[in-house]
Structure 1
Amino acid sequence: MALFSLRCFTQTSRWFRFSRVPALKFHKSSMMGATVEQFEEAKNKMSTLKNDPGNEVKLKIYALFKQEEARQQYCNLIGSLLAKEGGSPAQEVSAQPAASSNTYTTLLVSTQDNITTIQLNRPAKKNAITTEMYEEIIDALQQAAEDTSVVLTVFTGAGDFYCSGNDLSNFTKIPEGGVEQMAKAGGELLRRYVKAYIDFPKPLVAVVNGPAVGISVTILGMFDLVYAAECATFHTPFSQLGQSPEGCSSYTYPRIMGASKACEMLLFNKKLTAVQACELGLVTEVFPDSSFQSEVWRRLRSYAKLPPNSLALSKQLIRSVDKDRLHAVNDAEVERLMERWMSDECFNAVMSFFQAKAKL
């Protein structure tokens, strides 16, 4: 879902309900950072705050709570709020060492046999998309478009998920301009991200190796082929989260599967199996899990031997009919989502969703 609600915790009463969400289960280890006991203590102290710390701080607290690796930051933030009210001082902690990086830090990008493969590479997080990953995907698409040796470009996921949608860590860094600036920046990033697919000049293939959620599903309407393993599922729970479609799906989905079936997905949150998605035209072909990789890549390597200019020019001809329309749809979807992110309805829906998950 496109960058989630940017107005979480705008109602004080709802904010204090958060203190009753069951704690995440952490394992004790020798990791740097807060212990389980410190995290629990910070969570309990949160409910003792006398003053509302403001929407931006509450949004950051919620996002930190939802991330296991951020529990030390969570403790620090609660401690600093208590310190301002005359309570115990905030804990100090050394920053975690930064991971080493090459050209891309969230992707595995390689080119072989005239095929550029862009693999979402956060398997421990089910390939949830961070702000950094959005930027890297845009760059990787641009690189593949300019590389004359590339005939096909393929997206897939590392691990057992294709992509679980957006990562909540996108919202832990509130800019000086506040939530409104955050919504504007998020909207502009989404606009550029979808534009990169609309304008991509060469055949684009999705190799969906597992469950797909949110924008990783809606953007499939921009792909020329979508191959899926039997274990794959496709879910776009926008209404459940008080949001609206993106990735030009408000235009491509009705064209692909008809208005009624598109509404089932985009309005009423229906999750599709790979076979159902294939029957509706969203997926090109479904393969058995056991032979998925071998069969798909054998086929793609044969496609990559076709005359590259013929493939690219034919795709551009097909896309030219709708290109201006797609850009207009992208702009309209982004504007609508920015409104949604700032709405109370979106806030209430997102909070209900996470409270329900916490009870599982």
Structure 2
Amino acid sequence: MTEPNLLEELSDGVLRLTLNRPERLNAFTPDLHAALRRALSRASEDEAVRAVLLTGAGRGFCAGQDLGQRHPDAEGGAPDLGETIGTLWNPLVRAIRDLPKPVICAVNGVAAGAGANLAIACDIVIAAESARFIQSFAKLGLVPDSGGTWTLTRALGEARAKALALTGAPLPAQQAAEWGLIWKTVPDAALIEEATALATALAKGPTYGFGLTKQAIQAAGAQDLDASLDLERDLQRKAGFSPDYAEGVRAFTEKREPVFTGRAQ
């Protein structure tokens, strides 16, 4: 029996999603896109899911789009890559960014093209020391997509973003961490254990507040200080009326560990 191209496992509030096309370095097909979108929708709606952990099977995280399904010599002529981006990749990146719960990415190997940009769209990225991030679009005459030009420029600045995009040079995980593109690296053998521990800890936390924090930080790059101050005020109002805030204060005054639910009310 053929294994699914996306493995799903829910444990301790963490929905672990594993891209499962290792023979193709977990390159995306429309079926894999649909499966991951469904899983993220489940994560958004299911109260049992408090955090998401995304990783890849085999020796790589993700090679981006499966080019075998987007070949320019295919019958019917060159594919419309704009349609591919608009209907598959962009909605996927938006689903990760809009998910009101933490999304941790454990990059277990090479992350190339849209696969690299999918990883860095997540909230916290932990990479194996052997991992590399490659803007491989340059080798194909294409433009970095899936938020690549946006994320790279904001995280690294124009000079580094252009150099990575135009040369397609591999960015080692350790350098990506030093530059601030990802959070940190760990030894390869410790990656899943450490990423799972982080995801589990976050899943036990005040995840409603985490979602609001995520919203505020993501908005900050596109607005001025006054707008951010106003947004912080509005989101703090929501957080202050949540059960998690009440539980946090009670636990603090009673000198015990809080038991958060992640509920808005």
Q: Residues 13-46 of structure 1: CA distance to partner in whole angstroms, max 9, x if unpaired?
A: xxxxxxxxxxxxxxxxxxxxxxxxxxxxxxxxxx
Alignment of 1:291-306 (within 5 A): 291-306=190-205
Q: Counterpart of 2:85 in structure 1: which amino acid?
A: G
Q: What is the number of equivalent residue pairs in this alignment?
A: 222
In structure 2, the CA distance between the partners of 1:180 and 1:319, relative to structure 1 (3 Å rule), is same
Per-residue CA distance 1:128-171 (angstroms, 9 max, x = gap): 11121112111111111111122211110011211122213323
Question: Residue 173 and residue 253 in structure 1: after superposition, are their counterparts in 2 closer, same or farther (change >3 A)?
Answer: closer
Secondary structure in structure 2 of the residue aligned to 1:267: helix
TM superposition score normalised by structure 2: 0.75
Distance of aligned partners of 1:291 and 1:243 in 2 relative to their CA distance in 1, 3 Å threshold: same
**Counterpart Cα distance in 1 of 2:86 and 2:181:** 27
Q: Which residue of 2 aligns with 1:255?
A: 154
Question: What is residue 255 of structure 2 aligned with on the other side?
Answer: none
Q: In structure 1, what is the Cα distance between the partners aligned to 2:82 and 2:25?
A: 27
Residue in structure 2 matching 1:188, options 56, 61, 86? 86
Q: Summarize deviations over 1:151-204 as a string: whole Å, max 9, x none.
A: 21111001121112221332379999x447744542332332333233222211
Give yes or no for contact 1:115–1:304 (8 Å, CA) kept in 2: yes
Q: Does 1:228 align with 2:123?
A: no
**Structure 1's 257 and 296: CA in aligned 2 closer, same or farther, altered over 3 A?**
same
CA contact under 8 A between 1:107 and 1:120: conserved in structure 2? yes
Q: Are residues 1:277 and 2:176 paired?
A: yes
- Which among 194, 202, 213 is matched to residue 112 of structure 2? 213
Q: Could you tell me how far 1:305 is from its partner in structure 2? A: 1.2
Give the alignment's Cα RMSD to 1 decimal: 2.5
**Is the alpha carbon distance of 1:161 and 1:238 closer, same or farther for their aligned partners in structure 2, counting shifts above 3 Å?**
same
Q: 2:102 aligns to what?
A: 203
Deviation at 1:216, TM superposition (A): 1.2
Q: Does 2:19 match 1:120?
A: yes
Cα distance in 2, alignment partners of residues 267 and 236 from structure 1:
8
Which has the larger Rg? Answer: 1
Counterpart contact for 2:52–2:101, Cα < 8 Å: yes
SS of 1:162's equivalent in the other structure is strand
> Where does the alignment leave 5 or more consecutive residues of structure 1 unmatched?
1-98, 325-360
The answer as to whether partners of 1:130 and 1:169 remain within 8 angstroms in 2 is no
Give the strand-richer structure, 1 or 2.
2
Cα distance in 1 for residues equivalent to 2:36 and 2:222: 20
3-state DSSP of counterpart to 1:223 = coil
SS of residue in 1 equivalent to 2:26 = coil
- Measured in 2, the distance between the counterparts of 1:180 and 1:294 equals 43
Q: Is the 8 A contact 1:194 1:219 kept in 2?
A: yes
Q: Which runs of 4+ in 1 moved over 3 A?
A: 171-176, 178-185, 320-324
Letter in 2 for 1:143: R
1:157 and 1:314 map into 2 onto residues whose CA distance is 27
- Aligned pairs for 1:158-177 within 5 A: 158-171=57-70
CA distance in 2, matches of 1:311, 1:244: 33
TM-score by length of 1: 0.57
Query: Which gives a bigger RCO, structure 1 or 2 (Cα 8 Å, sep 6+)?
Result: 1
Tell me the percent identity.
32
How far apart, CA to CA, are the structure 2 residues paired with 1:273 and 1:160? 15
Q: 1:293 to 1:197 in 2, by over 3 A?
A: closer
**Most deviating of 215-224 and 278-287:** 215-224
Q: Which residue of 2 aligns with 1:318?
A: 217
* CA drift at 1:234: 0.8
